[in-house]
Amino acid sequence: MAKRFENHQLEVLRAAFRESENLTKEKKNELVAATGLDVEQIASWFSHRRARKRSKEAMAELELEHSRPKQAIKISRGNEAQLKKELLESKKREAELQDENWRLKERITIAESDKQFCLLKKWIAYPDTYMDL
C-alpha cells in the first residue's frame, strides 16, 4: 500500500501546484529538497492532481449541461400551463359568444315575425293600400 504524504509535504506540494500546474526541472529539485520526496513521487502527485482537477472541471461542465435541459423543461412546463389556461379562457369565451349569437338570432327571428305580423295587420286593416304584399 502506498505511503501517505505528511501534512507539511502536502502543503508544499499544494502551494507549488497553485503557482504552476506543470513542473520545471528546477521546481522538481526544489520540491525534492523541501519535502524529502523523490522526483517520481512528486511527478506522480502533480499528474494525479492535474487529472483530479480536469475531472472536477468536467463534472462541473456536465452538471451545467444537465441543468440547461432541466431549466428548459421547467420553462416549457410553465409555458404549457399558461397556454392551457389561455385555451380554457378562449373556449369559455367562445361558448359565451355562441350563446350570445344564438340569443341574437332568436331576437332577429322574433323581430322579423313581429314585422311580418305588423304588415299583415296593416294589410288586413287596409287591403287596398297594401295590395302587393
pLDDT, one tens digit per residue, over 44-94 is: 999 999 999 999 999 999 998 888 888 989 999 999 999 999 999 999 999
DSSP 94-131: HHHHHHHHHHHHHHHHHHHHHHHHHHHHHHHH-TTTTT
Distance, in Å, from the CA atom of 88 to the CA atom of 53, rounded to the nearest integer, reads: 53
- pLDDT given for residue 2 in this prediction: 58
In whole angstroms, how large is the CA radius of gyration of the chain? 45
**Residue 1 reports pLDDT greater than 50:** no
Dihedral over Cα of 106, 108, 112, 115: its sign: positive
Query: What is the mean predicted confidence (pLDDT) over 9-33?
Result: 95
Cell output for 91: 373556449
**Tens digits of per-residue pLDDT, 83-128?**
999 999 999 999 999 999 999 989 888 888 877 778 777 777 777 7
Q: Which fold has domain 7-125?
A: Arc Repressor Mutant, subunit A (1.10.10)
Q: Give the per-residue pLDDT at 131.
A: 63
